[in-house]
Structure 1
Amino acid sequence: MNAVTLYRIGHWFYQRKIPVIPMLIRNFIFLIFNSYIPVSASIGKGSIFAYGAIGVVLHANSKIGSGCVLGQGITIGAAEGFASSEINKCPVIGDNCYISAGARIIGDIKIGNNCQIGASAVVLKDVPDNSVVVGIPARIVGQTPNDFKAIRT
C-alpha cells in the first residue's frame, strides 16, 4: 500500500460526500508517510509519489495533472496574504511533470506540461510547457526533450 493508493480511496469517498472516512484516510497517510495529502486535492490519473511520499505537503485545493512524479519532501501550497490578495489560490501542475525532492511550488501559478522542477527549487512564478527550472527563486535553465516522459515504463 502506498500513499497515492490511499489518497485515491479517500478521494473517492470525498467526492461522494461520505463523511469521516476521508478524514481518517488523510490522518492515516500522515501517520504512515509523515505527509499531508488531503483527499480534497486533485491528483491526475497515473501520477505517483516517489519514495512513498515521505514528507510531502499538498494544499487542499492543489491540482496536479496526469502522469506526474512527485518527489519526497515537496510542498505545493497557497501563498496566503503576502503574495496574493485572495486566499487559497494554489498552483496548478500540468501533465507529465517531474517535481524533484525538496521542491517548493507556492502561490497562484501554473506549471506547464512536460516540465521538470529541480531539487530544492522554489517556484513562485508561472513555468511554460517543456521547461526545466532550478534554483531559489526558480529560473528556466533548459527545455525538456520532445520525447520526455516523467514516468518511464
Structure 2
Amino acid sequence: MENLKRDIKVNKFSDPTKACLFITYRLGNWVYYNLKIPLFRELVLFIYKILDLIFIRIINNAQIPARAKIGGGLRLPHGGNGIIIHPNAEIGENCTIFHQVTIGYKDSPTKSYGPPILKNSVYVGAGAKILGDIIIEDESIIGANAVVVKNVPLKSTAVGIPAQIIKQAKK
C-alpha cells in the first residue's frame, strides 16, 4: 500500500470520489498480484469489481483495470475523467495523466500491437492517445491531443498527430 500513500501525497482530494478511485485501483491491483488463496481471492475480486464499476467506471468515467501495473505517485489532476488504460499497460513512478487520455493497443487489419510502457515521471497532456507496443522514456512530455505511435526518447517532448519529437535532451 506504499503506492497508495504516494498517490495520496501528490493528489489533492477535494472530491472524495477521486480518493475512492485510487483506493479501488490499488486494492484491486494488490489482490490481483498478491492474494494467493483462491476462494478468498475470488471473493475480494468480486467486491473489487463492484467498487470498480461504481467509483472508477461510473462516477469517474474511467477504465483503470487492476491488472495494469502503475507505479506510486500517479497524479490525476482531473480525476479519472475519460482515462482509458489497457490492462497490460505499464506506467512508472510519479507520472501525471490528464483527462481523456487513452493508453492502449494499436490494431490494424493485419497485425495487433501490444500496449505501451510509460517510464518514470512522464507527463501526458489532456486528450493524448498513446498506442501500441512503444516505450515513453523517463521525464518525457506528451502534448495535449497528441497521437503517439512511436517510441519517445528520454526527456523528450512529443506533440501532434501523429506525434513528432519537438524537443529532445542533449546527450
The TM-score range, normalised by the shorter chain, is 0.7 to 0.9
In 1, Cα distance between equivalents of 2:145 and 2:59: 23
Q: Paired residues, what number? A: 143
TM-score by length of 1: 0.86
| CA drift at 1:13 | 1.9
| Alignment gaps of 5+ in structure 1 | 146-153
Match of 1:8 among 3, 8, 26: 26
Matches within 5 A, 1:72-151: 72-82=99-109, 84-85=111-112, 89-143=114-168
Note the C-alpha offset of 1:56: 0.4
Offset at 1:109?
Answer: 0.4
Task: Give per-residue Cα distances to partners, 1:104-143, cap 9 Å, x unaligned.
Answer: 0000000000000000000000111100110000001113
Measure the CA separation in 2 of the matches of 1:83 and 1:70. Answer: 31
> Which deviates more, 121-130 or 8-17?
8-17
Ranges in structure 2 where 5+ consecutive residues have no aligned partner: 1-15
Q: Which residue of 1 aligns with 2:47?
A: 21
Deviates more, 1:15-24 or 1:115-124: 15-24
Q: TM-score, normalised by structure 2?
A: 0.77
1:9 to partner: Cα distance:
1.7
Q: What is the one-letter code of the residue matched to 1:63?
A: E
Secondary structure, in 3 states, of the residue corresponding to 1:6? Answer: helix
User: What CA distance in whole angstroms lies between the structure 1 residues aligned with 2:111 and 2:120?
Assistant: 25
Percent of aligned pairs with the same amino acid: 38
- Are the structure 2 counterparts of residues 32 and 85 from structure 1 closer, same or farther at C-alpha, using a change threshold of 3 Å? closer
Contact map agreement 1:107 1:124 (CA 8 A) in 2? yes
Q: 1:49 maps to what in 2?
A: 76
The partner residue of 2:89 within 62, 66, 81 is 62
Aligned alpha-carbon RMSD (Å): 1.8
Larger helix proportion, structure 1 or 2? 2
Counterpart-to-counterpart distance in 2, 1:43 and 1:85: 23
